[in-house]
Structure 1
Amino acid sequence: MEKLKGALVVGFLRLFALLPWRAAQAVGAAIGWLMWRLPNRSREVVRINLAKCFPHMDAAERERLVGASLRDIGRTLTESSCAWIWPAQKSLRMIRRVDGVEVWERAKASGKGVVFISSHLGNWELLLQYVSSISQPIILYRPPKLRAVDELLVRQRTQLGNQLAPSTKEGILNLIKTVRKGGVAGIAADPEPSLSSGLFVPFFGVPTLTSKFVPSLVQGHKAEAVFIHALRLDDGSGYRVVIEEADEALYGDDPEAAVAALSAGIEKQVRIAPSQYMWSMKRFKKRPAGEQKWY
């Protein structure tokens, strides 16, 4: 049964990747529109998250953001299918602009390891190909449950000679060693960690359990940190990569201040294109002691 499920998923990804770019976007937007209009759990999670993160937004305006968010989630799905199937060079042609390349150049010139910090904003699959084209990074990832999908993603995500580190003890240790030797790592820093591995710090004004891993990796400038995302252009023609330097607090000895700086850096880029964040993720599943669960 698992093999059949994997084959079906890979088959659908290949079908999406056969579509012209605009058609893939249109199919994705239609999937997202249906998710907005039909009752489903993802829509409710988006509504809960946006109500908590944008409490002062007019209700009608916030509902429009719910719809825009779900349509962008659909677009990201079908566009990512292209990145999962296409040759890397074809994917890279969808990167139309890069803002902040000088931030990366300074970090690289430091001679230390560099940590690219990203999140589930924009298109992280295209972003992976871009980061791999300018460096030879090791990318931390969570393997999907279906073996056929995992094999496809590993093959596609390593086209340019980069490494993948599964989010296991061995994979994390390999990533740490790479950075300590002056290598480059890519980390999506917004998945919710265990209670022992994170701290509650503000994200859109909401106490949010956030991982201590990245701050511990760069503490005292043992490595340089830069925030990076690939944001969909308004005209849909492709993406622009946004690179920004980390606040000095991220490198400090105060764990809470460092983790807060990590969260603030991600929030800053999410605010550029809020509908492109994956608000369907249960980002706020764990709550501070005594607070009621959201989901």
Structure 2
Amino acid sequence: MERFKGAVIVGFLRLFALLPFRLAQRLGAAGGWLLWITPNRSREVVRINLAHCLPEMPETEREQLVRSTLLDSGRSFAESACAWMWEPERTIGLIREVEGAELLHEALERGAGVVCITSHLGNWEVLNHWYCSQCSPVIFFRPPKQPAVDALLRRQRAQLGNRVAPSTREGITMVMREVRSGGAVGIPADPEPAVKSGVFVPFFAVSALTSKFVPNLLRGGDARALFLHCVRLPDGAGFKVIVEAAPDALYSSDVTQATACMSAVIESYVRRWPSQYMWSMKRFKKRPPGENKWY
């Protein structure tokens, strides 16, 4: 049964990627609109997250952000389907602007290791192709549950000669070795980790269990850290890639301080493009002792 489900999903993705890009985006947005008007778990998770993270926002305005978020989530799914199935060059051709590319090139030229940090903002699959066109990084990722989808993504995310590392013990070791040998890696920093692998730090003024992996990777070494994001331009115009140097606090020997710094930078991006963040992710599933669960 699982193999059948996986085959159906992969088949659907292949059909979706046959569409012209703007039509795919519109259909994705239509799917997001359906999520907004019908009762479903994704909509409720978005509402819960926004109510806790943006309590100062008027309720009517926040509900409009729920709508915009779900529409953008639909667009992200459609864009990702295209990015998974197209040749990478076609996806990269959708990037109209790149800000800060020289920072990446300077960091690579040092030869001391580059840790590129991203989050579930904008479209990380488009970003993956751009990043892998600049160097040959190891991309860290959390494998999907469907084996057929996992196999597809491992193959498609490594089309440009880079490698992928799942969030397993072996994958973590692979990333650490790459950085120590002077290579480049890409890490999404916002998925909620296991309790032993994270620390509670502020994210939108609420405590969020956040991975210590990046601060630990940087501590005591000479690797440089950069933040990479790929945001959606208005009216289906394409994407903009932004590269930003990490603040000094991210290199702190105090892991909690460094992790809080990383969280604050990601928050700054989400505040600029709030509807492009994946608020449907159960980012706050684990709560500090004594706090009630959100979901």
1:93-242 correspondence to structure 2 within 5 Å: 93-242=93-242
Cα distance in structure 2, aligned partners of 1:270 and 1:102 = 23
Give the partner amino acid of 1:27: L
Deviation for aligned residue 1:281: 0.2
Q: Which residue of 2 aligns with 1:293?
A: 293
Where does structure 1 lack aligned partners over 5 or more consecutive residues?
A: none
Would the aligned equivalents of 2:117 and 2:228 in 1 still touch at CA under 8 Å?
yes
CA-to-partner distance for each residue in 1:12-54, whole Å, 9 max, x for gaps? 1011101111110110000000100100010000001011111
Residue 25 of structure 1 is matched in structure 2 by: 25
For residue 242 of structure 2, give the secondary structure of its aligned residue in structure 1: strand
SS in 2 for 1:187: strand
Kept after mapping to 2: 8 A contact 1:229/1:242: yes
Aligned-pair distance for 1:105? Answer: 2.4
- Partners of 2:196 and 2:145 lie apart in 1 by 25
* Greater Cα shift, 60-69 or 138-147: 138-147
TM-score scaled by structure 2? 0.98
**Shift of residue 221 of structure 1?**
4.7
Whether 2:11 is the aligned partner of 1:15: answer no
- Assess if the C-alpha contact under 8 Å between 2:111 and 2:183 holds in 1: no
Q: What is the alpha-carbon root mean square deviation over aligned residues?
A: 0.9
Distance 1:146 1:195 in 2: 25
Report how many residues are paired. 295
Match in the other structure for 1:40: 40
Shift of 1:147: 1.8
Residue identity in the other structure for 1:154: R
Matched, 1:258 2:258: yes
Partners of 1:239 and 1:46 lie apart in 2 by 24
Q: Distance in 1 between matches of 2:220 and 2:98?
A: 28
Name segments (4+ residues, structure 1) moved above 3 Å.
none
1:280 aligns with 2:280: yes
Contact 1:138 1:165 in 2 (8 A): yes
Question: How far is the alpha carbon of 1:85 from its aligned partner?
Answer: 0.5
User: How many Å separate the matches in 2 of 1:221 and 1:110?
Assistant: 13
1:120–1:188: 8 Å Cα contact kept in structure 2?
yes
Q: Distance in 1 between matches of 2:119 and 2:58?
A: 27
Bigger shift: residues 31-40 or 101-110: 101-110
8 A Cα contact 2:215 2:255, kept in partner: yes
1:234 Cα deviation (Å)?
A: 1.3
Question: Is the CA contact 2:138–2:184 (under 8 Å) kept in the aligned structure 1?
Answer: yes
CA distance in 1, matches of 2:65, 2:17: 27
Structure 1 Cα separation of the partners of residues 178 and 121 of structure 2: 25
Identity %: 59
* Contact 1:13-1:81 at 8 Å conserved across structures: yes
- Aligned to 1:235, what secondary structure does the other structure show? helix
Q: Judge which range, 41-50 or 266-275, deviates more.
A: 266-275
C-alpha contact (below 8 Å) 1:221/1:251 kept by paired residues: no
